[in-house]
Amino acid sequence: MTAPILSCREVTHYYGSQMACRNVSLDLYPGEVLGIVGESGSGKTTLLKILAGQIEPTDGTVSFAKKGGALTGLHEMSEAEIRLLARTDWAFVHQHPRDGLRMNVSAGANIGERLMAIGDRHYGNIRASAIHWLEQVEIDAERVDDLPRTFSGGMQQRLQIARNLVTSPRLVFMDEPTGGLDVSVQARLLDLIRGLVRTLGLSVLVVTHDLAVARLLSSRLIVMQGGNVVESGLTDQVLEDPQAPYSQLLVSSILQV
Amino acid sequence: MTSTVGDNGQTDGYNFAYLNEQTKRMIRRAILKAIAIPGYQVPFASREMPMPYGWGTGGVQVTAAILTPEDTLKVIDQGADDTTNAVSIRKFFTKTANVPTTTHTGDASVIQTRHRIPEQELREDQVLVYQVPIPEPLRFLEPRETETRKMHALSEYGLMHVKLYEDIARHGHIATTYAYPVSVSDRYVMDPSPTPKFDNPKMDSMPALQLFGAGREKRIYAVPPYTKVKSLDFEDHPFEVQRWSEPCALCGARDTFLDEVILDDEGGRMFCCSDTDACEARQQAGSPDDLLDQAS
């Protein structure tokens, strides 16, 4: 069995006296999509931020395997190293594209930012990859000089994904990537994400409260409630035959058309 | 409060150069630190000065801290010695420090400047003091001070190129003409104050010490003599300075920074040197017609 790319052990986090997640352990293997589902306030986003090195957990460890390297604890890395990882090996797709985009510069500059951050200094090449990535996410190449605020919500979200994938990250964190989009746009975006994940061989951690999104994207699922992991397993297994009472409630709450 | 010059050549009513000695010491400590870390913005306890923010309160404090009675002061505003800002700051130091002033670049030991570097090459025994409105070059794209400080600390300067990229995408070339970001000594990215980018190459390996004071933003930074200063650019869009199609109408110079002057309301205009001292020196050396003949 291959070694995990990301691993956390007994991660616990408190905001003051408020417990956000407790004793979470998980492994993410290369090329795998792991879904984290649960209701609002169940600690999903906190867990994602801890795994992405944005919050230091109160207790427990998070380790990441760099390219060709062994698992290294984030706490052993310097802030500079973590920030470098965050703009090269990692990608973070925010729920609101406005949090992940620079709204006052053009789409091309948004995509090129990560390239320039790792030292690319050739305008022609940067622009060429910006156009290439716009096409990858099905945005017209002619919009490369337009500001993101002239884009629709779905396009902004796709632009955010393009901006994140331009440095060929190995690990992508997604926080409710389809939240706030209407269902048809949501379906197209999911289709796009699924395609990109397959062709690029990405490892993905996707946080969602939408079980349909989890079912479409992820191969394994973790169900959280009140900061605890109540159930984990293969997506189909968890959704078809939920064991924990909360998972059963969650599955039975899906609206049927 | 009135000020008269006493027998000892010192001013009454003011401490030498307006600021008290304790304040000057504080500013000098900041200056020393700035020189030790070229391009790094050193915070300092900026004082209120008897002029509005934006009129050179930072530059004046730096000048006051380094001025000695033996110094000769020159103040320029957009290259000119005779504009309001230059005249009032020169008068300020005549009154409070009783130092001799000059308009000749070669005769000055301290030159305070608002947004130009003199055309005449500066020497090792001269100090150039810049007035800086916004010292943070990353501010355009990153409004958070905590974040920009971190970016400086970790040398994360990709964002600076995002600005230049945006310029090329919109205008087809790097349209930033002033406050053009530079990398100092291959480490810190620095805003050279709103000097035209025409002056950027002069900052590189300049024999004179360059000090930058931002009064409102409470920052001092410096470029020590003979320090590498490189303007940021792209490989396929290299850094270029402005060029003019015609020479200075007064002195005939083709290698200086020119101001456009509107002459009438019928589209009449002329171009003339922004550095009045260099322009006058050339005019005295020969009439414009002779110089124009030589130039053409």
Q: So where are chain A's domains?
A: 1-89+169-257, 98-168
Share of chain A above pLDDT 70, in %: 99
CB contacts, 8 Å: A83 with chain B: 154, 156
> What pLDDT score does B285 carry?
86
Rounded to an integer, what distance in angstroms lies between the CA atom of residue A87 and that of residue B156?
Answer: 11
pLDDT at residue A121 in the model: 93
Nearest 10 degrees: Cα torsion B20, B23, B27, B33: 130
Task: State yes or no: pLDDT of B1 exceeds 50.
Answer: no
**What percentage of chain A reaches a pLDDT higher than 90?**
66
Q: What is the pLDDT of residue B28?
A: 97
Report yes or no for ipTM above 0.90.
no
Model confidence band, residue B295 (pLDDT cutoffs 50, 70, 90): low
| Answer CATH for A1-89+169-257 from 3.40.50.300, 3.90.226.10, 3.40.1350.10, 3.40.640.10 | 3.40.50.300
Partner B contacted by A220 (CB < 8 A)? no
pLDDT (0 to 100) of residue A201: 87
Q: Contact B234/A145, CB-based, under 8 Å?
A: no
Question: Tell me, what's the pLDDT at A210?
Answer: 85
Q: Are A63 and A226 in contact (CB under 8 A)?
A: no
* Closest CA of chain A from B138, distance in Å: 13
Task: Tell me the two tokens of residue B231.
Answer: 């303007």
Interface test with A, best of B162, B171, B186 (most A CBs within 10 A): B162
Which residues, at least 6 apart from A11, have a Cβ–Cβ distance to it below 8 Å?
Answer: A21, A23, A24, A25, A47, A50, A57, A59, A60, A61, A62
Mean pLDDT of chain A: 91
pLDDT in tens, A116-145: 999 899 999 999 999 999 998 889 999 999
**Minimum CA–CA partner of B237 in chain A:** A123
Q: Tell me the pLDDT band of A187, cut-offs 50, 70 and 90.
A: confident
Residue A257 has pLDDT above 90, yes or no: no
What's the confidence (pLDDT) of residue B206? 97
A128 shares contact with chain B (CB less than 8 Å): no
| Contacts of residue B296, Cβ cutoff 8 Å, sequence gap at least 6 | none
Q: Chain A residue closest to B232 (CA)?
A: A121
Q: Give the least confident one: A6-10, A160-164, A210-214, B260-264.
A: A210-214
Is any Cβ of chain B less than 8 angstroms from the Cβ of A67?
no
Report how far residue A242's alpha carbon sits from residue A231's, in angstroms, rounded to the nearest whole number.
Answer: 8
| Average pLDDT for B39-64 | 94
Instruction: Give burial (CB, 10 Å; 0-12/13-18/19+) of A88.
Output: middle
Confidence of residue B5 (pLDDT cuts 50, 70, 90): low
Query: Shortest CB distance from B169 goes to which of A87, A108, A122?
Result: A108
**Pairwise CA distance, residues A39 & A154, whole Å:** 24
In 10 A of CB B21, how many CB atoms?
Answer: 10
Tens digit of pLDDT for each residue in B220-230? Answer: 999 999 999 99
Which of A87, A116, A124 lies nearest to residue B162, judging by beta carbons?
A116
CB contact under 8 A, A122 and B165: no
* B253's tokens: 């110079």
Please tell me whether residue B178 adopts helix, strand or coil conformation: strand
Cα–Cα distance between B62 and B229 in angstroms, integer? 21
Structure token pair of residue A139: 């945005």
A127: which chain B residues are within 8 Å (Cβ-Cβ)? 169
Distance in angstroms (rounded) separating the CA atoms of residues A19 and A36? 18
If one counts every other C-beta atom within 10 angstroms of the C-beta of residue A95, the result is 18
Is 60 exceeded by the pLDDT of residue B292?
A: no
Residues 6+ positions from A95 with CB-CB distance below 8 Å: A175, A176, A177, A179, A180
Q: What pLDDT, on a 0 to 100 scale, did the predictor assign at position B10?
A: 59
The confidence score (pLDDT) of residue A112 equals: 95
Interface with chain A: mutation pick from B148, B189, B231, B234, highest number of A CBs within 10 Å: B234
